[in-house]
Amino acid sequence: MNNLLKISSIILLVFILGNSCERGTEVSKSKSLSIAFYNVENLFDTIDDPNISDEKYTPESEFNWNLEKYSHKLNQLSKVISSIDTLNGFPAIIGLCEVENLNTVKDLVANSLLKKANYKIIHKDSPDERGIDVTMLYQREYYTPLENSFIYVNLPDSGNTTRDILYSKGILAGADTVHIFFNHWVSRWDGQEKTEPLRIFIAKMLKHTTDSIMQQNPNALIIMAGDLNDNPTDKSVIDFLAAHKPEKSVNNGELYNLALSKYENGEGSIYYKGWSMFDQFIVSSPLLNKENKVHLTANSQNVVKYDWMLFTPKNGEARPNRTAAKNYYGGFSDHLPVMIYLNVKE
């Protein structure tokens, strides 16, 4: 009888410990997901739209932009996007810029390499005179939009129009609310110095928006990404958007630039006489707190850079293999994608 009681006690103890361990595993369980941004360099269809400047991308143009080249472009971009997240297969969310219209985005997500992702689309035609837009793709199992809007950028005294800022508020992986901003700021076509005030204007406008969100909720999870056409150390980003390098201690109500350390180390996402880091991720401080349900796995962004995405000229270093400039090259884009990984505690 005593032996039987001993055996019963041991079995009960093992059962209790086993359940405790199992519960402990559930508490600490988390999953990883990624968010990416990619300037896809002039994803235009072959149809001439009289309302925008798309003449370069028609069958009659110097590029002879026909269905074959358009399909090749879609295949090239799909190959890149499907290679961004090496852990999960596809980014849970990806922002794109330089897409012509909704149909080009639909053609992209229908590509055989991306079909499995089953991406949903958030898109709106922007007032940009070139006709290029910002769009967002997301997987429903990871993101549920609650509110989507496109922030019009009314540039002062320029007579020019530019891309809207895409804003989406939603639930990330059922864990917490996030505020996502995808950007494509004014380019440097007329020179860096001449166009800098326009990017500063956008930075101040965006800073006002994010400050308002953080005043209402100091723990707000804010993720900004995009082609800012400025580097992390330029005035628009570091002085007016006030996005600084993540340090050991961070302050609530501040923004932190995940591209800054990589840029200081000589990395970049676009090449012209040297590497620039125009494509950046900027986040609010709660995302740097490992105790939060949703937090970054690292305090810096990744630049997605494979040898097959690059072109090496006779004299010079390898740089992004682009689709077209003065001539048609048949590459991918003049930009490299950037991405971050997030841990989501279940």
Tokens 């006709």 locate to 131
Most distant CA pair in the chain, distance: 96
Would 1 be classed as within a structural domain?
no
Sorted by sequence, the CB contacts under 8 Å of residue 209 that are 6+ apart come out as 151, 167, 181
- For residues 317-343, give the mean pLDDT: 96
Q: Give the pLDDT confidence of 32-56 residue by residue, as tens digits.
A: 999 999 999 999 999 999 889 899 9
| Torsion of Cα atoms, 331 then 78 then 145 then 36, to 10° | -60
Provide the residue type at 269 as one letter.
Answer: S
Q: What is the pLDDT of residue 211?
A: 97
- Take residue 131 and report the two structure tokens written for it: 């006709």
Q: Does residue 201 register a pLDDT over 70? A: yes
Q: Is the pLDDT of residue 199 over 80?
A: yes
- Rounded average pLDDT over 184-201: 91
- Condensed to tens digits (0 to 9), the pLDDT of residues 203-222 reads 999 999 999 999 999 999 99
What residues make up the domain containing 251?
32-345
Q: Is 179 helix (H, G, I), strand (E, B) or coil?
A: strand
- pLDDT for 15 equals 45
CATH number at residue 175: 3.60.10.10
Nearest to 104 by CA among 140, 138, 67, 79: 67
What share of the chain has pLDDT > 90, as a percent?
78
The whole-number average pLDDT for the span 109-115 is 97
pLDDT per residue as tens digits for the range 81-97: 999 999 999 999 999 99
- 245-258: average pLDDT: 88
Is 25 within the bounds of a domain? no
Tally of domains in the chain: 1
Q: Is residue 23 part of a domain?
A: no
What confidence score (pLDDT) does residue 17 get? 43
Which residue did the predictor score with more confidence, 3 or 160?
A: 160
Q: Which residue shows structure tokens 């297969």?
A: 89
Question: Has residue 301 got a pLDDT over 70?
Answer: yes
Residue 227 has pLDDT above 80, yes or no: yes
- The pTM score is 0.90
187 within some domain: yes
The yes-or-no verdict on residue 8 having pLDDT over 70 is no
CA distance 343 to 61: 47
Place of tokens 């007329």: 190
Measured distance CA(225)–CA(210) in Å, rounded? 13
As a whole number, the mean pLDDT across the chain is 90
Q: Is residue 177 part of a domain?
A: yes
In this prediction, what percent of the chain has a pLDDT beyond 70? 91
Predicted confidence band at 3 (pLDDT cuts at 50, 70, 90)?
low
Query: What's the pLDDT score for residue 158?
Result: 65
On whether residue 13 sits in a domain, the answer given is: no
Please check the confidence at residue 192 and state whether its pLDDT lies above 60. yes
196 DSSP 8-state letter: H
Query: Is residue 17, in this structure, part of any structural domain at all?
Result: no
Mean pLDDT computed over 226-237: 98
| Residue 2: inside a domain | no
